[in-house]
Structure 1
Amino acid sequence: MRFIQKLPYEWQVGLRYTRGGKGSSDSGDGAGKGFISFISLISVAGIALGVAALIIVLSVMNGFQKQVTDRMLSVLAHIEVFDSSGSMSDWEAKAKEAMRNPAVRGAAPFVETQGLLLKDGVMRPSVVRGVLPGVEDQVSDVARQVRAGSFDALKPGSFNIVLGYALARALGVGLGDKVTMVLAQGQITPAGIVPRTRSFTVAGIFEAGHFDFDATLAFVHVQDAQRLERLPAPSGLRLRIANMRAAPEVAAELKKTMSGDLTLRDWPKLNANWYAAVQTEKKMMFIILTLIIAVAAFNLVSSLVMTVTDKQPDIAILRTLGASPASIMKIFMIQGAVVGLLGTLAGVGMGVGVALNIDVIVPFIERLLGVEFLSKDIYVFSTVPSDLHWPDVHIIGIVSVLLSFAATLYPSWAASRVKPAEALRYE
């Protein structure tokens, strides 16, 4: 170990105390040395388990968030553009302006309204979106999610409708059936205000895999929606961009480059409650699981305190040879920091390994135990997803090392306060 021999003596002594065993101390019996080494090993294991658990749990949470977000954005737009006049007669020109931004991948017009769908006394609230089938596939995956019928059946003037799977099941309708749409806006008659109604023919049923959309969303042709809303043109544009996480930044850029008095809304704003809830849950889970690392760090404190008690004769000898209190403090800080670093590295390796292979590990555990964690009959997701974010790994590693270092401060300070005469009195 020539490298270690070239280090300052504080590092040599600190690393020797970390290893324990032969040469770690000249006082006490072998059992005492082994016990302290065992506690150090437990400290390493505790920190490693805490770090690994935090990485794995956050990766699984990221995986679920990614799957839910992907399913949401298969129906929703990344960015919505509205004109202050209430309709966008020049939507094609506005679409060309938006497409000049290299981040924009597609643009399509839309009209959105709310109403009630009625069939044989069963009534369900719904969000009715008017789209242009020829270009809708540029901004959503609805056409590819149709399970029955065809999305291309939405022709202008046909008053056909494509329903979500759960919405169609709740109404008890299938292809070719008629449903009545009751609009929120009424019309004034001699008998008073009467709700406006319109009959639609079910031409398709889609399944996005997100219950909120499957149970409430319906599609009609954009021109039919304009007639329902009595609009001269589409309400606005829906845009899809290359990187959905950059939606707020791209929306801000488009606001500056597109002409007209426009309002732009990105998908985090459209789903602010859900997005905020997910982010809050992730932060709280990070804090809670960090406590596991903190508990392991407290175990490191007890380990170092016992080491300081056991090494008092060694400390006294070093002090009589000229070692300063700062050097004694440095020795035990090095010992604790090495334990924390080893635990962090082991935890990062274990956590990253599990997070990257969770699609293999979870099915193996299910087969081994004969259980199914996510039943296909109950949950939307039948497999446990994982999405490892390296910035999360870096933050977890830094927090673990800092907590371990903080745990060394008091025992190291106590070691520096040992008085040589008192420590050697009974030796």
Structure 2
Amino acid sequence: MSLRVDKTSLERACKEIIETILFCLPNAYKGTVYSIGSPPDMVATRVTSGIIDRERTTISWGLPERSDYNPPGKPWLQYRDEPGRPLEAMAWCVEKQKSWTAEDPDSDTRSVRVQLGGGYEDSHHMEPVLVRKQDLYLDGEPVLEYPRNYDGEVIWQDTDYMVVAVIKIHFRLGTIKMDSPETRLIKKLSRTLGTELLSYQLREESLKAMRELAQDKVNSCNIISDSLRNTISKSGLIFSLIKHEMGFLRDQWEEIIRERCNIKDAKEDYIEELDRALDSTAGVDDRLRSELKEAHKKFLEFSLTPEKAENWIRAKIESKWNTILTGNNGSNELSEKVRRSLDGLRNTLYVGKDSALIKSYDKMPEKLKQEWVDLIYRMPDRFDQVFLDKVIDMLGNPALKLPHQNKSRKSLIHLRALAKIMGELEENTNVAIRQVLNGGSTNHFLRQSK
């Protein structure tokens, strides 16, 4: 796959994500994760499949006896859209980097069985696992040969992401809809899987750097500095992954408050209103329209603290709307509509911190609620192990009752361990540099520090 992850870690991460989804969604009964290889072949390979029993207590694991996607997998040229062969949902997810939901199997235009005129099919949802290229290739994106679709168009060249895996979840017939709570949950968990796989790659690269340093006598301070500082720079990515996981925790908390307090308005609703307002406004510069559309979309992908989210709205969204509204396009009716939507969007940012709403939620001890809110909305600007330890400790409290707290706790524990490795690696680097400057060998020290 595009990520350099060992087979055992990959299978474990895939099983955990399937297990989380099947136990959380009562209408889901089967899950599969496929890895997507590096361009240009982009081989899609089934990693593992799990089926939950009727009592919903046990998951059976394994691969079907026959499948085109069983190892060694199926290359892009064999599953892309082409005339004369059935369309596959896999091709859609990989090429478009978008999800595919089969609500009604009989009318599913990408069901191979339906197109071939036979066989049983069910309702299912497929979600691509996206990882940013700059996170995947921290040293700079290598020269990659991206594949082409049947029409000769190069795919992935103008996107910031790569598809590293695809999650497929089967549901009881007729129980799944596009953009339903189930599909939104799977999308969020797909980001968690991407984060976890990235962390495994970071760990492998870090340990590899340490092993290589221990094996070879380093002859110059510059060689050590260049080879190891490169790896240490990735500690910034670890902090980004921690921030992402904290955002996921805030999302879970705010969803609980919305549900328990029967709050209907969500940031997705106000972004949709702004999109409609933009679509209905004539005379907007094409570039400005495109940038504002992208800003709307990006905002929904982030899970920032309320203060940072408000700054983001002001800088990336409101400023562009001000340009539109102060021009010839800005009617009073449009201005009022946009202002209401922006005000509503800002209000959604503080749902999880609203003291009245928090007080009305009675499923958690008051002291725990206050400590939890104070913690998750106080995101430090740099790695803080004391802060991270507190979050992990609180996630171990069953009274918290977050829907995915065990999954988040595992991810943060893993990231904490990676941060520790990076700290040790930096310490080793500094000692090695000093030894080289003093004319000594680094091997003796590194053997002791292993």
What TM-score comes out, normalization by structure 1 length? Answer: 0.23
Greater relative contact order structure (CA < 8 Å, 6+ sep): 1
Greater Cα radius of gyration, structure 1 or 2: 1
What TM-score comes out, normalization by structure 2 length? Answer: 0.22
